[in-house]
Structures are given as structure tokens and as C-alpha cells.
């Protein structure tokens, strides 16, 4: 497997064709000076001062950077807030980060329509992977539906609330 996260970028997945981002997502304008949606990754070191290095790694992966990636991923899981959000205020849903991952070569996505709770997101995604491992023929959407159902039926009262499991869509 090769993984580099700055354009030009190559991601090659052998027998594990899934790419999972468990991070923060930001819509256009949520980060000061941002003109497009982005995933928020690990920031550069506080003592980083090399302008060239900071240009390559600013701690963000923007929609335009994502669109230039060359992915071979059956499923990209964006376990982050607002990853199904629009590119801009008047744009259609799925026009930002989600569309960028499709341009990059993702064949399927798991995205969220609003802010997500970390605990619920972890439970939902790990259970969906367990469902797929146990029965690969059910498909991603059914695996995620089953993980939602389990969270509602066996999770805490807070995790059973739709704000915790309903933002996600495959």
C-alpha cells in the first residue's frame, strides 16, 4: 500500500479497498479564510517555519486537493462532520468534499449531512465493517443500516436519537 496525502498523490489499496477518514470536516467559510470545504488533518508542528513545507502540509485537505488525487478505492468513509455538504452556500448537496472524492476515483462514499458525534460515529462504522466481514454479500448500505439499527436498539438513550445516526448516508 502506498499513501501520500498531498497532490500529486497516489493511493493504492491491494486487498483492502477502503479509505477511512475519522477526522473533522469543515464547510466553506467555517475555517477563517477558507474558500472551499475541507477535511482537517494533523496540523504542522508549532515550530514549523519552512514556507515550502507549510505549503505542502497546512493540516487541511481541501476539496480541490482531493479532486486531484488518484484513488482506487471501492469505499471512502468520511466519518467527519458535514462531508455531504455543498461546495458553497447556494450549491447543491454532495457538491463539495463528496464530489471531490468521486472525481478522485472513489466508487462509493459514506458521508454525513451535519455534525456527527464521535462516539456514535465510531460505533456505527466499526459495526458496519463487522457486518460486512460477517456477510460480504449484504453490501455497504445494508451493513450501515444494520449498524444504525443496533445503535438505536442497544446504545444509550443519547445515541439512539436520530441526530447521532441519521446524518450518515452511503
Residue 11 has a pLDDT of 46
Residue 159 has a pLDDT of 86
The three-state secondary structure class of 108 is coil
Which residues fall within 8 angstroms of residue 87, CB to CB, at 6 or more apart? 28, 36, 37, 63, 95, 96, 99
Which residue intervals of the chain are DSSP H helices?
51-56, 63-67, 97-104, 118-134, 140-154, 157-160, 162-165
- Number of domains, the chain: 1
Residue 55 has a pLDDT of 67
Residue 118 has a pLDDT of 86
Q: How far apart are CA 17 and CA 93, in angstroms?
A: 25
Which residue intervals of 25-96 are DSSP H helices?
51-56, 63-67
Q: How far apart are CA 2 and CA 4, in angstroms?
A: 7
Residue 28 has a pLDDT of 83
Phi-psi region of 130 (alpha: psi -120 to 50; beta: other; left: phi over 0): alpha
pLDDT tens by residue, the chain, 170 residues: 334 444 444 444 443 478 888 888 888 887 887 788 889 887 777 777 777 766 667 788 889 999 998 888 888 999 888 888 766 666 666 668 999 999 999 999 999 888 888 888 889 999 998 999 999 899 999 999 999 999 999 988 888 888 888 888 88
- Bridge partners (DSSP) of residue 10 are 70
The three-state secondary structure class of 77 is strand
- Helix (H) or strand (E) holding 79, with range, is strand 75-79
Residue 7 has a pLDDT of 42
Cell of 81: 462532520
Residue 143 has a pLDDT of 94
Which residues fall within 8 angstroms of residue 168, CB to CB, at 6 or more apart? 110, 111, 112, 113, 116, 121, 124, 144, 148
Whole domain around residue 117: which residue ranges? 2-169
Q: How far apart are CA 159 and CA 14, in angstroms?
A: 35
pTM of the model: 0.79
Amino acid at each position: 500500500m502506498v499513501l501520500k496525502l498531498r497532490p500529486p498523490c497516489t493511493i493504492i489499496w491491494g486487498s483492502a479497498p477502503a479509505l477511512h477518514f475519522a477526522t473533522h470536516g469543515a464547510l466553506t467559510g467555517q475555517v477563517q479564510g477558507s474558500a472551499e470545504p475541507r477535511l482537517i488533518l494533523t496540523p504542522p508542528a508549532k515550530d514549523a517555519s519552512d514556507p515550502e513545507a507549510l505549503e505542502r502540509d497546512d493540516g487541511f485537505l481541501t476539496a480541490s486537493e482531493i479532486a486531484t488525487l488518484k484513488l482506487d478505492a471501492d469505499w471512502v468513509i468520511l466519518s467527519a462532520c458535514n462531508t455531504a455538504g455543498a461546495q458553497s452556500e447556494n450549491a447543491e448537496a454532495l457538491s463539495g468534499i463528496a464530489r471531490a472524492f468521486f472525481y478522485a476515483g472513489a466508487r462509493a462514499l459514506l458521508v454525513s449531512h451535519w455534525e456527527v458525534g464521535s462516539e456514535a460515529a465510531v460505533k456505527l462504522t466499526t459495526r458496519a465493517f463487522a457486518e460486512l466481514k460477517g456477510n460480504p454479500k449484504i453490501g455497504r448500505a445494508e451493513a450501515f443500516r444494520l449498524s444504525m439499527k443496533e445503535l438505536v436498539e442497544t446504545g444509550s438513550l443519547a445515541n439512539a436519537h436520530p441526530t447521532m445516526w441519521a446524518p450518515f448516508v452511503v
